[in-house]
Amino acid sequence: MSEVIDGTTCAGPDGGAQPLRLMAVHAHPDDESSKGAATMARYVADGVEVLVVTCTGGERGDILNPAMDRPEIKADIGKVREAEMARAREILGVRQHWLGFVDSGFPEGDPLPPLPEGCFALEPLETASEPLVRAVREFRPHVMLTYDEKGGYPHPDHVKCHEVSVEAFEAAGDPERYPDAGEPWQPLKLYYHMTFSKDRILALHAAMEKAGLESPYHEWIAGFEDEKEKRAKWEVTTRVPCADFFETRDRALLAHATQIDPNGFWFRVPLDVQREAWPTEDYHLARSLVDTEVPEGDLFAGIREKVCL
């Protein structure tokens, strides 16, 4: 597996410095900290410009940390989550942009209730994609990150995030599409997050048992068979070494205090166990307009050679 190559600033067309740029598109505030956060922190440390695009405000999210389950927080959850996002992006060292759509909520029950009118998941594709196309043309990323076609898990906003990300990747470079959304720019690679792959969960589970610790993954593993039809099946093509930034990832997660219980599931595997058992964050290369060989160890493999030479 190739390692991440040092050097992230290349000569632009005018001879000036041109940094490499990474855009991560997420459905809600906190998604950026649970999926790919250590990768982003690692690239920021290497000098890459990183922009998180957040599609919705998370206004319909539940409060998952008992310590934050208070009436005044529930009454203003959108503003609270906006402030949490501000703290997380500061910890990660990234820029962040809101698309401004309204959280769809996670429908539960049998039969499932209809989605609320005006929510992100019900927006027409072009309406939902136009502000992302505009953001791509303004930021000019070389690489985009998003979810697979099942959203990573079947939340309607995650599925919609996938759809608008693919649309923006394919349309942003075409001057005839979204002509009022800025000057065309074509990203070169699109990846899907593979954060919760079966192989990773099994490796962490085995490492916990080897260390004589109680694994938090028993129920997760037992549910693999039941969940398999709800999740896309993509191979991991790209593993980014970022174990040195797991602590930064966790601090960003904790910034989302309404969503993350510091005594909860996310923090039951010690960092030293994680670093030993699975020191990478993983991705599937879904689109590439540059030559690259898989497996990769760098999201910019093939791009450094194209942009920097």
Helix (H, G, I), strand (E, B) or coil at 179: coil
Annotated binding-site positions for Zn(2+) = 28, 31, 158
Its sign, for the CA torsion 78, 84, 87, 88, is negative
* Contact criterion met (CB below 8 Å) for 43 and 50: yes
Question: Would you tell me the crossing angle of helices 156-171 and 125-139 to the nearest 10 degrees?
Answer: 60
The proportion of the chain whose per-residue pLDDT surpasses 70, expressed as a percent, equals 92
User: What tens digit of pLDDT does each residue of 189-209 get?
Assistant: 999 999 999 999 999 999 999
Query: What is the DSSP pairing of strand 189-193 with strand 280-288?
Result: antiparallel
Question: How high does pLDDT run on average in the chain?
Answer: 92
Q: CA-CA distances (angstroms) from residue 291 to 75, 188, 285, 304?
A: 51, 10, 12, 11
Contact 132, 123 (CB under 8 A): no
What is the pLDDT at residue 306?
Answer: 79
Query: What pLDDT is stored for residue 126 in this prediction?
Result: 98
pLDDT digits (tens, 9 = 90+) for 274-289: 999 999 999 999 999 9
Per-residue tokens: 243: 């174990």
Section 119-134 average pLDDT: 98
Domain boundaries, the chain: 15-197+235-308
Cα–Cα distance list, 194 to 13, 97, 122, 201 (Å): 35, 23, 26, 11
Residue corresponding to tokens 């930034």: 245
Q: Match domain 15-197+235-308 to its CATH number in 3.40.190.10, 3.40.50.10320, 3.30.460.20, 1.10.1040.10.
A: 3.40.50.10320
Q: Provide the annotated binding site.
A: 28, 31, 158
Contact call for residues 29 and 84 (beta carbons, < 8 A): yes
Q: How far apart are CA 57 and CA 144, in angstroms?
A: 21
Where in 259-302 does DSSP place strands (E)?
Answer: 280-288
CB-CB contact of 306 with 188 (8 Å): yes
Residue 138, helix vs strand vs coil: helix
Residue 225 neighbours by CB under 8 Å, 6+ apart = none
pTM (global) more than 0.75:
yes
Going by C-beta distance under 8 Å and a sequence separation of 6 or more, which residues neighbour residue 187? 23, 136, 141, 142, 143, 144, 169, 172, 173
CB 152 within 8 A of CB 108: no
Query: Of the given ranges (216-230, 231-245, 266-280, 289-303), which has the lowest mean pLDDT?
Result: 216-230
